[in-house]
Amino acid sequence: MHLLENLHRNVRTIAMPLAMVVGALSCRPITTLEQASHGMITPTLIFLMLFITFCRVKPSQMKLSALHLWMLLFQTVVSVGIYLVLLPFDPIVAQGGMICVLAPIAMAAVVIGGMLGANVATMATYSLLCNMVIALLAPVILTFTGNGICTFSQILARVAPLLIMPFAVAQCCRFLFPKCAQWIAEHSQISFYLWLLSLLVIIGRTTAFIIDLHGASLTTEVSLAVVALVICLLQFKTGRALGRRYGDPAAGGQSLGQKNTVLAIWMAQSFLNPISSIAPTAYIVWQNFVNSYQLYKRDKETQKEYNHD
């Protein structure tokens, strides 16, 4: 068992960067496969990841806290603030920066947060709350900052099936097949490997999108990538600072820093200047480098504790 645990730690330390490299190099076959599946590969993987994670969560454990409210306030206020600050310099960069903050917590953030020692129930609560609130607020913000009219039902249709259904199925499994749910909860590391497959597909699609993108200047593309990096680091740092005040820095960091970039790219391409989607596209890379570094630090700390004991 000790050997397997060490192997799992070593694999996941390098797994995310490796998955991103493989995904980028295999962008054309991945895009073809995704099109052949009618875009169902990523949603299926996310559904399975969340189902496995939610098997660990009891509804009675899910409670609202001040941390949730502070993070929601940050997302709404700072997204508009960044747009207004960047607008005089470049409207496209302003839209890209805004969408990187406005985007709700990633579906898989609960999975990574659990590996970092976060309270899974706290993150599951925020995942449900944040996606619903952003579905309400985003149409208003995107209508004023974008090129078209965005509706609540459009965004809800994108997030609800992959958010509510895995939770409902997991709770049914816990009620009807408790031993099965317990086994799944005890082997929740499976969700990490599902996340790697999902990441590989997302990076492949993202790379193909960037290669095929035309009409954007190099200055604008670099500016969007740099803004995404700054915002990524700011959100992880702020989230951990807020989480530390309430005894859970990992939950705060992942809840605020790890974004639903698939939804962000769709919103940018549908309701903003499509070129602005380069920012959430770059954010995918930055947040997963941050995740890899955090997992590496967590594993080093765990190993030290194990050796000390």
Q: Percent of the chain, pLDDT > 90?
A: 27
> Based on the structure, what is the number of domains in the chain?
1
Which residue(s) pair with 105 in the sheet? 259
**Cα distance between residue 196 and residue 130, in whole Å:** 24
Q: Does residue 196 lie within any of the structural domains? A: no
Q: How many helices (H) and strands (E) does the chain have?
A: 14, 0
Domain assignment present for residue 256? The answer is: yes
Both structure tokens of 152: 């609540």
Residue for token pair 């600072």: 241
Indicate whether 200 belongs to any domain: no
Buried residues in 192-202 as b, exposed as e (16+ CB within 10 A)? bebbbbbbbbb
Q: Is residue 33 one of the residues assigned to a domain?
A: no
Does 157 reside within a domain?
A: yes
Which is more confidently placed, 212 or 247?
247
pLDDT digits (tens, 9 = 90+) for 187-227: 777 877 887 888 888 888 878 877 877 766 888 889 999 99
The tokens for 159 are: 């997030």
**Token pair belonging to 111:** 């999975």
Query: Considering the domain boundaries, does residue 37 fall inside one?
Result: no
Residue 180: domain span: 42-189+206-300
Entry pTM:
0.83
**pLDDT band with cut points at 50, 70 and 90 for residue 8:** low
